[in-house]
Amino acid sequence: MDIQGSKVLVLGGYGLVGTAVCRELLTRAPSLIQIHSLRAEEAEAARAELAPEAGGVELTTSSGDLFGLTGDDAADAGDDTDRRARLRAHFAQLDDESLRRFRLYRLLTEVRPDVVVDCVNTATGIAYRDMFSAAEELDRAIDDGESSREAMDRMLEALYIPRLIRHLQVMFRGLVDAGTRAYAKVGTTGTGGMGLNIPYTHSEERPSRVLLAKSAVAGAHSMLLTLMARTPGAPAVTEIKPAAAIAWKRIGYGPIVRRRETLRRVEAKPRPLGATFSSDDPEAARVLDEPLESVFIDTGENGIFSLEEFATVTSVGQMEFVTPEEIAAYLVFEIEGRSTGADIIAALDGAILGPTYRAAGMRHEAIERMIEMEREHGVRSVAFEMLGPPRISKLLYEAHLLREALGTLRAVAAASPEQLRDRLDELVRARPEVAAEAAAVGIPVLLDSGEQIRGPKVIVPPDADRVEVTPERLERWVRDGWADLRLANCALWVGRARSILAEMEAIPLCETSSRHIRTRRYWLDGGTIQPGKTVGWILSVEERGERIKR
């Protein structure tokens, strides 16, 4: 269809992809773009950002939870009657009266857009209600002989499929009643295109049940959209399903904010591990009255990553990445009827948009710029523990400490485990600020002496309160999220360095084809340790977390 002069509603218009979609749409001169976001201030911020590029296009805004009912914002969450009414709205048969209670339906029928571009992460919004935790809570209540109305309600609220079906029903009715001609969805694979061996989770499970639930909801959503596209009277439906990380919004230097909390620098020194351990221990280190500042890359809704986190997740064989501009261009092409070959509705089996040539070129630019900024500010951008799981940050900091202590892969490979242990111990004692940076982001450093360097808060274990430190617990904590400078782990790193060099040197010098990826050039001929690439190798080779499809 011709977008020029049309009315477009962009759901999730404040997000990374949503903003890129708005920019792409502006080049087609629609009459109006309405930007919808969860919060009013987000929608207004997006409008302010886009206003200089709008020309004669009218930009309007709206806000609110698209999975909720009108009046939910003012409702008393503790009111049992109101809670039951909201539950019935999602489970009962959908009639015209209940339909009008849904904010999404009201929005569609009031705006009456010609085109709807849906950039909301529907699968995350539904699956991260966490049915598994709700089921465990209900199971405990049953075991205790209790009839917990609250636990039962929470379980009902967390059920994915009824919510997804109701969301699709409301969307379909709203689009039809509004006379919308085209609906374009930005979907998800749930794993950034990786398989069940995905190493990026925020739980101890790999892969986590909640993450797989997200993928399951995303797949079910695609199937429901396929059915909607086959329904007479429905708008033209398309879905682009990116199968890579999506980046980026900006590169900068400044305070690191994680989950809306600014991380603070800490003064941490070696101290006895003790018989018990607490995740939150104000006495473990002195929190300085200054923020932790570093170089970062802003990936929008996924948060900010350090240089090395970004290098890890986008390294070959890991999640890699695609730019929001490409997704936006593909969506608009599909709306205009220009086939891209990436429409999941048209070809569920062959339409996944994977990592791209443009992203590969821009990845190099992003990393080079972040390296320049590291030098400019005299810092190392290693890990902020936003990539997940904490094990990724632990490995990045271990590789970084090796870089600071020995410099090169060849030096690590040539060292004995005892030499490596001693050099690392000397490093953290002579330059305590190196280990203190790991401590500041919640990654403790465990020395071979049994001493630890930690901040007042740690990521692993998450909620310990004077928990007894047993050998089994300690090994689990260290594996999942502590930088380990003990002899056994030093031996493991020596072995890794030797394996990398052996893999590299097995490639004949005369071999110049495209067959090999991790060549001498890739590894700088065994020179300076590159934590992101090194951890990418560990995840791909040692932990068998490499993607095989793009």
Give 344-396 pLDDT, tens digit per residue: 988 764 545 778 888 988 999 999 999 999 999 999 999 999 888 999 999 99
434, part of any domain: yes
Q: Binning pLDDT at 50, 70 and 90, where does residue 130 land?
A: confident
Per-residue pLDDT at 230: 85
Residues 327, 274 share a domain: no
For 221, the domain range is: 7-241+323-335
Q: Which residues pair with 257 in a beta bridge?
A: 262
316/331 same-domain check: no
Q: Does 441 map to a domain? A: yes
289 and 179 in a common domain: no
Is 347 within the bounds of a domain?
Answer: no
- Model pLDDT for residues 141-188, shown as the tens digit of each residue: 888 777 677 788 888 888 889 999 999 999 999 999 999 999 999 999
Q: What is the mean pLDDT of the chain?
A: 91
Q: Which residues contact 517 (CB under 8 A, 6 or more apart)?
A: 316, 317
Task: Give kind and range of the element (H or E) at residue 471.
Answer: helix 471-481
Provide the domain count of the chain.
2
Is the same domain home to 121 and 192? yes
The rounded distance, in Å, linking the Cα atoms of 210 and 217 is 10
**One domain for residues 294 and 204:** no
CATH of the domain at 229: 3.40.50.720
Pair 94, 137 in one domain: yes
> Same domain, yes or no, for 174 and 38?
yes
**Shared-domain flag, residues 34 and 142:** yes
Domain membership of residue 341 (yes or no) is: no
Residues 223, 186 share a domain: yes
Question: Do residue 295 and residue 201 come from a single domain?
Answer: no
Strands (E), 227-285: 236-240, 245-246, 250-255, 257-258, 261-262, 264-267, 271-272, 276-277
Is residue 80 situated within a structural domain?
Answer: yes
Residues in the chain: 550
Instruction: Say what the pLDDT of residue 72 is.
Output: 63
Q: Which of 45-49, 274-278, 341-345, 354-358 has the lowest mean pLDDT?
A: 354-358
